[in-house]
């Protein structure tokens, strides 16, 4: 989970709008999504599909927030 949080921090745009769309930001967001998919594979497919639909209209920071929430849910279920 810590690695996922580190990727989220690297992908976060926040108030620095000039960071949005840079190669570094895009790579970090893509890496975050790849690792997130591994963390949330145990969640029901409906939850994963709802997240995918949410992402189509969300900002990158919103995707990161919701992704971290889903990862925490998946982690809690595995305990």
3-state DSSP of 22-77: CHHHHHHHHHHHHHHHHHCCCCCHHHHHHHHHHHCCCCHHHHHHHHHHHHHHHHHH
Give the per-residue pLDDT at 20. Answer: 79
pTM exceeds cut of 0.85: yes
Consecutive 10-residue averages of pLDDT for the chain (79 residues): 90 81 93 94 93 94 95 89
Give the per-residue pLDDT at 2. Answer: 87
Give the per-residue pLDDT at 1. Answer: 64
């Amino acid at each position: 989970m810590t690695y996922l949080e580190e990727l989220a921090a690297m992908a976060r745009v926040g108030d620095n709008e000039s960071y949005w769309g840079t190669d570094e930001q895009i790579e970090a967001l893509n890496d975050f999504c790849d690792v997130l998919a591994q963390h949330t594979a145990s969640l029901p497919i409906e939850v994963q599909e709802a997240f995918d639909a949410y992402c189509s209209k969300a900002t990158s920071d919103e995707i990161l927030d919701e992704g971290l929430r889903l990862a925490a849910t998946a982690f809690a279920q595995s305990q």
